[in-house]
A and B are shown apart, each in its own frame.
Chain A
Amino acid sequence: MTSTIAILGVLTVAAAAAVLLKTQRPELGFSVTVLTCVLILSVLILRLTPLLETVETLFSELPLSWEYGSILLKGLGICLLTQTAADSCRDAGESALAGKAELTGKITLLALSVPLFKEVAALAAAMIGGEGVGG
């Protein structure tokens, strides 16, 4: 709880500093924003680690391999990074670059989930083929 309040306080102070700098030097105000985002995101991800371990333990009780869970976790990591980059670009007023950052994330996620698509396709093909051969 203390850490949460500290994070919220730091964010408010950083917002004040960014607003102060934006009137004179917009690029340095943007730098303050990006630095704060990066620092807070690192802290939050480190706080998330024990929760992810709990999720992994819960997943191990299921009759599924951890491969699927790890793909989900990788997707979550890519989403966090992409969102941060895109938000920073949009803050700087570059929505075209933000769109490209989001596109990068989407393509990476698609490439990450190709093995799952392949598995589902193989399952569907086996079911159709099984029907055909059996019938």
Chain B
Amino acid sequence: MDVELIFKVAAVGIIVAVLNLVLTRAGREEQAMLTTLAGLIVVLTIIVKEIANLFAVVKEVFGL
């Protein structure tokens, strides 16, 4: 079980939240939005890999 992945996603979330806060305070709303988008894309890339893994496991075990 890759527990590190969960912590990785949580860390990305915290970093993005802090960056968003700082950039918004500095008056750079566009860059704050782009940071959010980049964080979301990174996290989704991790998740999609794991979902594909889950589908492969289910297909193998249940013979779908």
Residues of chain A within 8 A (CB-CB) of B5 are 35, 39
Q: Which residue of B lies closest to A36 (CB)?
A: B6
> How many chain-B residues does the 8 Å CB contact rule pick out?
34
Chain A stretch 45-79: residues in CB contact (< 8 A) with chain B: 45-46, 48-49, 52, 70, 73-74, 76-78
A80 vs B54: C-alpha distance in the bound complex, in angstroms? 11
| B55 lies within 8 A of A35 (CB) | no
- The interface centre, meaning the residue of A17, A35, A78 with most chain B CB atoms within 10 A of its CB, is A35
Which of A31, A36, A39, A48 is close to B61, meaning CB atoms less than 8 Å apart? A48
Taking Cβ atoms with an 8 Å cutoff, the residues of B that contact A are 1-3, 5-7, 9-10, 12-14, 16-17, 20-21, 36, 39-40, 43-44, 46-47, 50-51, 53-55, 57-59, 61-64
Contact A32 B61 (CB under 8 A): no
Partner of B10, one of A21, A38, A39, A52: A21
Task: For A97, list chain B residues within 8 Å (CB).
Answer: none
Cross-interface CB contact of A41 among B21, B54, B63, cutoff 8 Å? B54
Q: What residues on B are CB-neighbors of A34 within 8 Å?
A: 47, 51
* Cα-based distance from A95 to B58 in the complex (angstroms): 25
8 A–B contacts, CB within 8 A, in A order: A27-B40, A28-B13, A28-B43, A31-B40, A35-B46, A36-B6, A38-B50, A81-B55
B63 touches which of A14, A21, A29, A73 (Cβ 8 Å) = A73
Question: How many residues from A make CB contacts under 8 Å with B?
Answer: 37
Residues in chain B near residue A52, CB distance under 8 A = 61-62
Interface string of A9-21 (1 = CB under 8 A from B): 0100110010011
Are B13 and A77 in contact (CB-based, < 8 A)? Answer: no
